[in-house]
Amino acid sequence: MNRRTLLKGGAAFLGMSALGVPPYQAMAELGNFGGSQEFLIPLPIPPLLESRPAGDDGRLFPFTVEAGTRSFIPGYTTPTLGYSGSYLGPTIRVRNGEQVGFNISNNLDQQTSVHWHGLHVPAEWDGGPHQEIAAGGIWQPRFTIKQPAATLWYHPHALGLTGEHAYRGLAGLFYIEDDVSDGLNIPKTYGVDDIPLVLQDRRFFEDGRFAYAQSRMDVIHGVIGNYLLVNGALWPNLQVPRGLVRLRLVNGSNSSVYRISFSDKRFFHQIATDGGFQERPVRLDSVFLTAGERSEILVDFGQDEVAATSMLLVDQFAGNSFEAMQFTVTPTRGDHRIVPDRLADIDWLAESSAVKTRRFTMETMSGGMGMMRRGRQLTINGRNMDMGHVNERVKLGTTEIWEFVNRSTMMMRLPHSMHLHDVQFQILDRNGRKPHPAEQGRKDTVHLNGGDAVRVIARFEDYTGIYMYHCHFLEHEDNGMMGQFEVVA
Ligand code: C2O
Ligand code: CU
Ligand code: CU
């Protein structure tokens, strides 16, 4: 049954890429290898990044960007990239109000950058395409953490290279803790009952390399994979205590949209969106995450028998269904049994406080294959990303409404994932209706189906300078679906 599901997905995937006549077609892709899903590999937990005291700079975290290799599929070796390691990176954990610094050495033979996704930082330390780190270079951002507890992440953002660098393994988690997270009676022991889960689908060439390529179909639909990695492992198992377990889910894929649930259909509670805790837990039996989005959930294994298992299911909208990983319940009693009914206060922004509404129309032109030039067909308000052009200017200290419209043609009902740097926004409405409770909270990334119009509200405060907004499908971003806004005094 497991194998059949995979094969079905694989066939759909291969059929799709054949249409695109990819340039790498000569290189056969690895279909679905005959391995079994016995969930034997323990789930890897990224180490916490070590820091040292640095006087006025607070705590200093050094790390590197490097190339390596990893075996994801038994018998195959894959060249990879990683932060201080061969794939993904250590988890950075900081506190609200804390002064922190990073010394980041780029040991690649190519430029890259390190962007703090979801973090409110001065523009010069944002790590976008204006802050590339040259091959062999070092970047030393210094800033103060100024936002509540949240599960954020960091990843590369060099112009035109984001998708490839991320695909090869550059991504890590960035946790913020504060008095609210300290005070809540919820699981918070890293790697024991508070578990990061970075979900990424991947495809491979027959020689084991990642099949990252940007054919026209890859650009339009994103590079969609037929294997699903959790924290860089294929089909891992996690031993969990009998009690509440907190999962910090990150859709770390390049361009996939996931629906995440459990094989036994169990309910759970979502407690945090992209930018931190919600007001109250939201009871769900599946959580929907577009590329770049996060969700924290509390799953109750307290009623399970010892040695019971449950699988995490990931349905990828492009067609594959994955039994991504397994949870095995141990005899250990968990420290937490009850889901709190209040979590945090959210400072809701009133629509009437907005001084301006801007509209961003995301468009994908369809047309004959011959006339397609890479990049031209993915636009926001009719334009491609241009490093020399600031698209919007926002006054410091003001609140604005940004409306994202996914205008799709009959041919191209593509979804998009809209992301803003600098701010956490709140969703006012989706197609005129209040957002689903799971989307009510602090957000930095929002999904748009073909035809959707979503209004968000945000306050642009503390820092001036240039930030990005873009589709978080990285193949869309790299091919022009990005713009710049400048916060001006
Ligand atoms: Cu997560 Cu501009 O990116
Ligand atoms: Cu970002
Ligand atoms: Cu997009």
- DSSP letters spanning 215-252: -HHHHHH----SEEEETTEESEEEEEEESEEEEEEEE-
**Does residue 476 have its Cβ closer than 6 Å to ligand 1?**
no
Q: What's the pLDDT tens digit per position in 256-265?
A: 999 999 999 9
Q: Which ligand is nearest to the CA of 157?
A: 1
Ligand 1 atom having least distance to the Cα of 117: 1
Q: What's the CA-to-centroid distance between 475 and ligand 1, angstroms?
A: 12
**Does residue 468 have its Cβ closer than 6 Å to ligand 1?**
yes
Q: What's the CA-to-centroid distance between 420 and ligand 2, angstroms?
A: 6
For residue 304, which of 235, 248, 236, 245 has the smallest C-alpha distance?
Answer: 245
pLDDT for 121 beyond 80: yes
Residue having the nearest C-alpha atom to atom 3 of ligand 1: 117
Partnered with residue 25 across adjacent β-strands are: none
Ligand 1 atom having least distance to the Cα of 482: 2
Ligand 1 atom having least distance to the Cα of 421: 2
Residue 16 binned pLDDT confidence (cut-offs 50, 70, 90): very low
Q: What's the pLDDT tens digit per position in 365-407?
A: 755 444 445 446 899 999 999 999 999 999 999 999 999 999 9
Residue 22 binned pLDDT confidence (cut-offs 50, 70, 90): very low
- For position 369, what pLDDT does the model report? 47
Rounded CA separation 283/339 (Å): 10
**Does residue 443 have its Cβ closer than 6 Å to ligand 1?**
no
Share of the chain above pLDDT 70, in %: 91
Rounded CA separation 305/463 (Å): 52
Ligand 1 atom having least distance to the Cα of 468: 2
What is the average pLDDT value for the chain, to the nearest integer?
Answer: 91
Residue 220 binned pLDDT confidence (cut-offs 50, 70, 90): confident
Ligand 1 atom having least distance to the Cα of 153: 1
Residues in the chain: 489
**Does residue 294 have its Cβ closer than 6 Å to ligand 1?**
no
Q: What's the CA-to-centroid distance between 207 and ligand 2, angstroms?
A: 33
Q: What's the CA-to-centroid distance between 333 and ligand 1, angstroms?
A: 39
- For position 279, what pLDDT does the model report? 98
Q: What is the pTM of this model?
A: 0.93
Rounded CA separation 140/122 (Å): 13
- For position 27, what pLDDT does the model report? 63
* Mean of pLDDT values over 24-48: 78
By CB atoms closer than 10 A (0-12, 13-18, 19+), residue 38 is exposed
CB atoms within 10 A of CB 266: 14
- For position 376, what pLDDT does the model report? 61
Structure token pair of residue 211: 């099949």
pLDDT for 313 beyond 80: yes
Q: Which ligand is nearest to the CA of 156?
A: 1
Q: What's the CA-to-centroid distance between 416 and ligand 3, angstroms?
A: 4
- For position 15, what pLDDT does the model report? 33
- For position 32, what pLDDT does the model report? 73
* Mean of pLDDT values over 136-142: 98
Ligand 1 atom having least distance to the Cα of 128: 2
pLDDT for 208 beyond 80: yes
**Does residue 165 have its Cβ closer than 6 Å to ligand 1?**
no
CA distances from 114 to 19, 83, 158, 421, 470 (A): 35, 10, 8, 13, 16
- For position 87, what pLDDT does the model report? 98
**Does residue 482 have its Cβ closer than 6 Å to ligand 1?**
no
Q: What's the CA-to-centroid distance between 470 and ligand 3, angstroms?
A: 8
Residue 217 binned pLDDT confidence (cut-offs 50, 70, 90): confident
Rounded CA separation 332/302 (Å): 10
- For position 23, what pLDDT does the model report? 40
Q: What's the CA-to-centroid distance between 116 and ligand 1, angstroms?
A: 8
More confident residue, 285 or 24: 285
**Does residue 250 have its Cβ closer than 6 Å to ligand 1?**
no
**Direct distance between the N- and C-terminal alpha carbons of the chain, in angstroms, rounded to an integer:** 60
Residue having the nearest C-alpha atom to atom 1 of ligand 1: 117
Residue 215 binned pLDDT confidence (cut-offs 50, 70, 90): confident
- For position 213, what pLDDT does the model report? 81
pLDDT for 33 beyond 90: no
Rounded CA separation 357/400 (Å): 6
Rounded CA separation 230/314 (Å): 11
- For position 398, what pLDDT does the model report? 98
**Does residue 269 have its Cβ closer than 6 Å to ligand 1?**
no
